[in-house]
Structure 1
Amino acid sequence: MKKLLLVAALVGASTFGAFAQTSTTPTTDGDTPAVATPDTKNATAPVEGANSFTEDQARERITAAGYADVTGLMLDDKGVWQAKATKDGKAMSVALDYQGNIVAN
């Protein structure tokens, strides 16, 4: 009988760990830090928020995304890096948010 109670207690205690490991859905607000990868992009980008990218890092990320002739790079009051660049021979405005999302305007 003692063994049965011990086994029941162990099984009951192990289920609490499963409940603690639930995941939440990702948010799209500016308070949730994340870094975009080339395969992912936030649909609400560019996202406003505290941007920790330096000017050199922002330029490198934009260039790595296939943009050339990056000029006028500056951080706006919403925490988004803004620049002019070319891609595929077309001039356009480009934005880089704190999540690493790059958006052409």
Structure 2
Amino acid sequence: MRVHLKGQVFWKKMSQVNLTVQLVRQVENIIKQHDEQANDPAFISQYPAAVIGFLLGEVDMPKEQKTEILEQLMQFSQYVCTDVEDKKAAQIKDSEQTMGVWKPGD
């Protein structure tokens, strides 16, 4: 999956993030190794959010700029979430059609 992001993030323009399922699973596994309570995706997702806050906290820039970056990253996260949900829904729909699920009116 290639994720496209328009606008400025940090102080450089980013055109795409090379996000793969393999990369996400590796990050997820590292978090699970670090915290044995991390067995829920909602709980696990707190770690990357905290890492973002930590990294931005270390950067020397005005608070307003950090706030803007965090807002952009939130929008970006929402975009990625919606994209994943849409692809998942499309796969389910395709598999139902492939399996010959009958629906009234077909």
TM-score (norm 1): 0.25
Whichever of the two has the greater Rg, that structure is 1
Question: Which of the two has greater helix per residue?
Answer: 2
Report which structure shows greater RCO (CA 8 Å, sep ≥6). 1
Using structure 2 for the length normalisation, give the TM-score: 0.25
